[in-house]
Structure 1
Amino acid sequence: MRPPSPSIPEREFLFTALKQSLRLDGRSPLEMRTPSLIFGPEFGWVECSLGKTRVIASVDGKMVKPPPERPFEGIITIQSEISPMASSEYEVGRTSDEEVTLTRILDKILRRSDVVDKESLCILAGQRVWQLRLTIHCLADAGNLLDCACLAGIVALKHFRRPEVEVIGDEVTVHAATERAPLPLSLHHTPFCLTFALFPESTSSTSSTSTPVIITILDPSLLEYRLATGFLHVAMNAQRELCVVQKAGGVPLALDQLLPLIKDVAVTKVRELDAFVESRMKDDWEGRRKLVEVS
């Protein structure tokens, strides 16, 4: 059974706090929860946490025959799973609306924006290419699964290594990791997703002639996510290139309200996330190098 909806006192208390620029977990309105990354023993496996929201992302690859219409490009697929482990709101064997939305937006951000150079995945034109599968497992839903899943997905792609392949004529040889070092993927860019939850300042109807005042918060918690009237999803890379801008819900958002969220908040937060990911990737690489030297 689905959990009960937030009670009226919870709703009123949250709205009262937001009007005073206060949040129940002590954050400021445009402050993110601190992310964390844990890398697995295999390349392409990462556990990402955003507060108590936890997601595991893994990448695996295999050689397949490409479709006739794209003989020079590899194939990338994205799958997501939100099990009852994440929340009692989700049921076994039943795809929820949240899971469908999550998969669609991740597909826009990580596949349609050409994160991976698909031509670099070609082994033998028209005969063999790499097929990469990114799998997202949601372990705990404490709000804002999308941003956590996107962060885990892009880090898993950056962390993944594929075997080196040698082609002589029509003969393809796949070298084991003990023979030749695996190769990283060729990435065009690394986008990150930021979710803003939108709340009208007043729950009563506003005049159609004036722009309503919108309370905007970044990285909503579970209660904030359930009570939000609308959402703004912004995907951007560290080079300030917009990949996806998607608004959901019925809250009107004027241009002068939208642009500061992108130009000021999103640009800064994405750069911070990019620096954080590069730092954690470097630490993981140094740890693996030392482990090899000791062994």
Structure 2
Amino acid sequence: MGDRPMTTGASKISFGTDYGCCFVDLGKTRIMAQVSCELITPKENRPNEGLIFFNIELSPMASPAFEMGRQSELLVKLNRQLERCLRNSKCIDTESLCVVSGEKVWQIRVDVHLLNHDGNLMDAASIAAIAGLCHFRRPDVGIQGEEVTVYSTEERDPIPLSIYHMPICVSFSFFQQGTYLLVDPCEREERVMDGLLMIAMNKHREICSIQSSGGIMLLKDQVLRCSKIASVKVSEITELINKALENDKKARKTGGKFGFAESLPQERITALKTDVSHVEMSDVKEKANEIVQRAEVPPQTVPCPVLTAPGTGQVGEGLENSWGLEEEEEEEDETVELKMELEEGHEEKGKGDVVVISDSDSEEEDVVILNQVTTK
């Protein structure tokens, strides 16, 4: 089995302030579903039934592998699987969406937006879609003759959809030609898996759809084993959805706080933590000493100037500053000459003593000659 078999501890479901807006965290995968409705003309072959439309968007914000506005093979595959899971399973009463037979019916649109991709997209998309449909409320409608009036939520309470059951997808990945089975694979595990089995089931143990991909041959016992695991996971997820719906209903009824804004502040920065990684640190000090002893002294190299472009240069990038060296050499030469003049003045007593008054700060020098006093 995999490292996360038959667990739903990483699942989180929250609802927005508007009806039909659902946010699902399944591991590190995040998906938002938004349900909306509009009045349209029904199909000619089914004039008494409403329509259900599913749309999945894979944004580059979720993964760099996705491109905006491009209908990839994965996107088409996910849309078809979601339609088979929810629409073909007849989980929603489409006849209750009829307003006027052959003229006006409700079209329910489910937009699924992928916010972060870490694998297991179909499972998270099915949970978000069915939870959003259960949370959605359509406006009430009044009919007077041929006139159809749609009432706002302030005038009349909105009406929930008629949902028979909640089908949920569970994914199984196989490795080494079916030798190893992993439940709820992440994005890295999906890259190296040999095959994928996807089972859509409700809490009544009714299989709504089943699909195998990857070209791997599965035995009957393997499929039965996966179906038993799926029934347990579906029961847990269904209970989680019902609990989230009850909490949202209670918060709206009592006037409490609800919506995404109330669920996000609970994730405080001080509460976040990372998994502990076991690192062996016993022989690190010995290896560090060996590396230091074996290390050779780097040779003294003359720094080279950095030329960013022809005709340009940089000052202070590791070069020695040669500014002011000429002035220092001139000052040293002047001091040597002054010392020599003083020594010559002491030797020549017949002449006047030469006293040199110099100021290091001034550029000019003052020379004062004191004549020797002669006595008769």
In the superposition, the TM-score normalised over structure 2's length comes to 0.66
Give the C-alpha shift of residue 31 in structure 1. 3.8
The 8 Å contact of residues 178 and 218 in structure 2, kept in 1 or not, is answered as no
The 8 Å contact of residues 23 and 32 in structure 2, kept in 1 or not, is answered as yes
Matches within 5 A, 1:1-295: 27-32=3-8, 34-200=10-176, 213-262=178-227, 264-291=228-255
Give the C-alpha shift of residue 259 in structure 1. 0.5
- Whole-angstrom CA distance in 2 between matches of 1:283 and 1:143: 28
- Whole-angstrom CA distance in 1 between matches of 2:100 and 2:4: 53
Give the C-alpha shift of residue 214 in structure 1. 2.1
Give the C-alpha shift of residue 28 in structure 1. 3.9
Structure 1 runs not aligned, ≥5 long: 1-20, 201-211
Q: Do the aligned partners of residues 33 and 97 (structure 1) sit closer, same or farther apart at CA in structure 2, a change above 3 Å counting?
A: farther
Q: Do the aligned partners of residues 144 and 33 (structure 1) sit closer, same or farther apart at CA in structure 2, a change above 3 Å counting?
A: farther
The 8 Å contact of residues 29 and 216 in structure 1, kept in 2 or not, is answered as no
Give the C-alpha shift of residue 93 in structure 1. 2.2
The 8 Å contact of residues 50 and 97 in structure 2, kept in 1 or not, is answered as yes
Match of residue 9 from structure 1: none
- Whole-angstrom CA distance in 2 between matches of 1:213 and 1:125: 51
Q: Do the aligned partners of residues 30 and 188 (structure 1) sit closer, same or farther apart at CA in structure 2, a change above 3 Å counting?
A: closer
- Whole-angstrom CA distance in 2 between matches of 1:173 and 1:214: 60
Runs of at least 4 residues of structure 1 off by over 3 A?
Answer: 27-33
Give the C-alpha shift of residue 33 in structure 1. 5.5
Q: Do the aligned partners of residues 125 and 28 (structure 1) sit closer, same or farther apart at CA in structure 2, a change above 3 Å counting?
A: closer
Quick check: which has more Rg, 1 or 2? 2
The structure whose RCO (Cα within 8 Å, separation 6+) is larger is 1
The 8 Å contact of residues 6 and 183 in structure 2, kept in 1 or not, is answered as yes
Give the C-alpha shift of residue 161 in structure 1. 0.1
1:93 is paired with a residue of what secondary structure?
A: coil
Give the C-alpha shift of residue 240 in structure 1. 1.0
- Whole-angstrom CA distance in 1 between matches of 2:213 and 2:8: 20
The 8 Å contact of residues 8 and 236 in structure 2, kept in 1 or not, is answered as no
Question: What's the CA shift string for 1:219-278, capped at 9, x where partnerless?
Answer: 10111111111100000011111100100012211001111210x211111111111100
Q: Percent identity?
A: 39
2:69 is paired with a residue of what secondary structure?
A: coil
The 8 Å contact of residues 30 and 217 in structure 1, kept in 2 or not, is answered as no
In the superposition, the TM-score normalised over structure 1's length comes to 0.84
- Whole-angstrom CA distance in 2 between matches of 1:66 and 1:274: 32
- Whole-angstrom CA distance in 2 between matches of 1:89 and 1:248: 21
Give the C-alpha shift of residue 91 in structure 1. 1.6
2:115 is paired with a residue of what secondary structure?
A: strand
- Whole-angstrom CA distance in 2 between matches of 1:226 and 1:146: 15
Q: Which amino acid aligns with 1:282?
A: E
- Whole-angstrom CA distance in 2 between matches of 1:214 and 1:169: 66
Q: Which amino acid aligns with 1:257?
A: Q
Q: Do the aligned partners of residues 292 and 95 (structure 1) sit closer, same or farther apart at CA in structure 2, a change above 3 Å counting?
A: same
The 8 Å contact of residues 197 and 230 in structure 1, kept in 2 or not, is answered as yes
2:14 is paired with a residue of what secondary structure?
A: strand
Question: What's the CA shift string for 1:57-83, capped at 9, x where partnerless?
Answer: 011001011111111000111111101
- Range moving further from structure 2, 180-189 or 31-40: 31-40
1:139 is paired with a residue of what secondary structure?
A: strand
Give the C-alpha shift of residue 123 in structure 1. 0.2
- Whole-angstrom CA distance in 1 between matches of 2:96 and 2:44: 17
Give the C-alpha shift of residue 30 in structure 1. 4.4
1:119 is paired with a residue of what secondary structure?
A: helix
Q: Do the aligned partners of residues 35 and 220 (structure 1) sit closer, same or farther apart at CA in structure 2, a change above 3 Å counting?
A: same
Structure 2 runs not aligned, ≥5 long: 258-376
- Whole-angstrom CA distance in 1 between matches of 2:67 and 2:73: 12
Give the C-alpha shift of residue 32 in structure 1. 4.7
- Whole-angstrom CA distance in 2 between matches of 1:272 and 1:190: 12
